[in-house]
């Protein structure tokens, strides 16, 4: 008869194994690049300093929970490694996970450029990642590729054959989905190693192939919440971007300052300033814009009375008539030779209401008077005969 706390021997043997399996998760313990082996560090557990390695040391073997957790980048409290591994495009990288307990979920590998800075000095929080490999369920099988790790097989990824040379982080990740029937159940096991890629490649990731961590995943993604993961015929959807084709051309130089583009419309010539008008020398004077002062405002201007014509003696009316005609003709010719001004200025009003104006005497009057004297002499001589 057994005591109240007595347990069967078989159960006592199974429980420790179950607890060990439940607590034993995993980390990348070493990597091999084309046969070149690089050992990793044991978890620091809060006190163990990293040794010489290309693999960034993590704090423990526990999974990262939550896709927005900063630890999803390279692992919990991952620190920079002290060494950098040489690698070349087309080489296969093997990731040794040691003793791995899980069998459900994808294995995904990313890379990120460290820029001109060596990756041993690079902050992974600033990295922009592109996907280079991913495996999930085996073709035509219920089994996952992750299940192969339980038997000691490594994870695998090939450096892209067209990748441009430079400093790169390589991030190898297992997502365990055995508890992911609800949101937040997925477990992330990321690991980062530091590389220097050589070769003559020219491929760079395009902008739409780059992602950041956190940010590349979200907790409700159908690849992270999988209530039917154990059902027959389950089809898995990978989280994150598609595998990069590296068709980009690399960082573009800063654009040159834009020059002003030519316009189709021609500029209109600037009009020349108008020259002041200079009247001809022989032109008549232009009246002033302002009226001349007058005693009577707005009084009408009467035409100037014609100059009086000298009359001949009454003794010969017939001769006198001809003489008057001759005098008028001479006067008209004289006025045409010397035109009078085109304006007159009223100066007074007579008592009879007639406007009196001062009219300049034509220059031909003097000539007419002399001519009149000669005509009178001829008439007197003719009359005496």
Rounded (5°) CA angle 127-131-137: 140
Domain locations in the chain as residue ranges: 9-209, 317-384
Higher pLDDT, 94 or 254: 94
State pLDDT tens for residues 29-52: 999 999 999 999 999 887 888 889
- DSSP summary character for residue 76: T
Burial of 153 (0-12, 13-18, 19+ CB in 10 A): middle
> 15 falls in which pLDDT band (50, 70, 90)?
very low
> 372 falls in which pLDDT band (50, 70, 90)?
low
pLDDT of residue 50: 84
Kindly state the average pLDDT of the residues 316-339: 46
9-209, CATH topology level: Coagulation Factor XIII; Chain A, domain 1 (2.70.50)
Give the mean pLDDT of the chain: 76
> 25 falls in which pLDDT band (50, 70, 90)?
confident
What span, in angstroms and rounded, lies between the C-alpha atoms of 347 and 357? 6
Q: Which range among 187-191, 218-222, 355-359 shows the weakest confidence by mean pLDDT? A: 355-359
Q: Is 173 helix (H, G, I), strand (E, B) or coil?
A: strand
What span, in angstroms and rounded, lies between the C-alpha atoms of 319 and 297? 48
Check whether 358 has a pLDDT greater than 80.
no
pLDDT of residue 140: 87
pLDDT of residue 46: 78
Are 215 and 127 in contact, with CB atoms under 8 Å apart?
Answer: no
Q: Which range among 82-91, 162-171, 236-245, 303-312 shows the weakest confidence by mean pLDDT? A: 303-312
> 24 falls in which pLDDT band (50, 70, 90)?
low
State pLDDT tens for residues 216-263: 999 999 999 999 999 988 999 999 999 999 987 765 333 333 333 333
175's torsion region: left (phi>0), alpha (psi -120 to 50) or beta?
A: beta
Kindly state the average pLDDT of the residues 196-202: 97
- DSSP summary character for residue 61: S
pLDDT of residue 340: 46
């Amino acid at each position: 008869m057994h005591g109240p706390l007595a347990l069967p021997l078989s159960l006592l043997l199974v429980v420790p194994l179950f607890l060990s399996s439940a607590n034993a998760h995993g980390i990348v313990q070493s990597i091999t690049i084309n046969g070149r082996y690089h050992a990793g560090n044991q978890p620091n557990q809060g006190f163990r300093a990293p040794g010489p390695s290309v693999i960034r040391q993590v704090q423990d073997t526990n999974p990262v929970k939550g896709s927005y957790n900063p630890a999803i980048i390279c692992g919990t409290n991952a620190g920079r490694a002290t060494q950098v591994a040489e690698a070349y495009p087309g080489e296969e990288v093997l990731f040794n996970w040691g003793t791995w307990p899980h069998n459900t979920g994808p294995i995904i590998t990313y890379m990120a450029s460290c820029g001109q800075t060596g990756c041993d000095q690079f902050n992974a929080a600033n990295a922009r990642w592109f996907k280079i490999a991913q495996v999930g369920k085996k073709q035509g099988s219920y089994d996952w590729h992750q299940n192969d790790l339980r038997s000691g097989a490594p994870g695998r990824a090939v450096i892209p054959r067209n990748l441009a040379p430079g400093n790169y982080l390589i991030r190898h990740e297992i997502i365990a989905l055995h508890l992911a029937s609800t949101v937040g159940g997925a477990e992330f096991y990321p690991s980062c190693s530091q590389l220097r890629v050589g070769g003559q490649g020219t491929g760079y990731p395009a902008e739409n192939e780059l992602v950041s961590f956190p940010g590349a995943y979200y907790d409700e993604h159908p690849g992270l919440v999988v209530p039917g993961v154990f059902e027959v015929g389950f089809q898995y959807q990978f989280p994150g971007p598609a595998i990069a084709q590296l068709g980009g051309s690399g960082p573009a130089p800063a654009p040159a300052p834009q020059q002003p583009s030519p316009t189709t419309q021609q500029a209109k010539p600037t009009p020349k300033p108008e020259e002041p008008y200079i009247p001809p020398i022989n032109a008549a004077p232009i009246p002033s814009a302002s009226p001349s002062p007058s005693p009577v405002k707005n009084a009408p201007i009467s035409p100037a009375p014609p100059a009086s014509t000298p009359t001949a003696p009454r003794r010969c009316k017939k001769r006198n008539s001809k003489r008057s005609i001759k005098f008028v003709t001479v006067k008209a010719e004289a006025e045409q030779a010397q035109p009078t001004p085109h304006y007159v200025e009223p100066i007074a009003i007579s008592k009879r209401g007639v406007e009196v104006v001062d009219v300049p005497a034509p220059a031909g009057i003097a000539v007419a008077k002399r001519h009149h004297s000669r005509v009178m002499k001829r008439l007197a001589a003719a009359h005496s005969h």
